[in-house]
Amino acid sequence: MLDPNSTNSQTEPDQWQFHLRQANDNNIFCHCRQCDAEWVDSFEDAPCRTCGSKDVEHIACWQFPDD
C-alpha cells in the first residue's frame, strides 16, 4: 500500500498498475447476469463467453484469501 506521507515518484503509480495487471492475469472471476455462466478471464471488461452479454460481474480472484 502506498504511504500517503511519502513523496511518490512519477513511476511508482505506473509500477503499481503494472503489478495489478500481472495479478489480474487469468485471475478475474466472471459471472454473467443473463445466463449465469461463470469463468475465469484476464480482462475486467470481458463479455460472456456463452451468450455474449456485457452484463457481467467481474471480481479479481487475488482479492480472496487463500484457505
State pLDDT tens for residues 9-51: 568 888 888 888 887 777 899 999 999 999 999 888 999 999 9
Model-wide pTM > 0.85: no
Would residue 8 count as lying in a domain? no
Residue 11 lies in a domain: no
Has residue 65 been placed in a domain? yes
Q: Indicate whether 13 belongs to any domain.
A: no
**Residue 39, domain extent:** 28-67
When divided into structural domains, the chain yields a total of 1
Q: Listing from the earlier edge strand, what are the strands of the sheet with 38-41?
A: 38-41, 28-32, 56-60
Q: Is the pLDDT of residue 5 over 80?
A: no
Whether 50 maps to a domain, the answer reads yes
5 falls within a domain: no
Structural domain contains residue 60: yes
Is residue 6 a part of any domain in this protein?
no
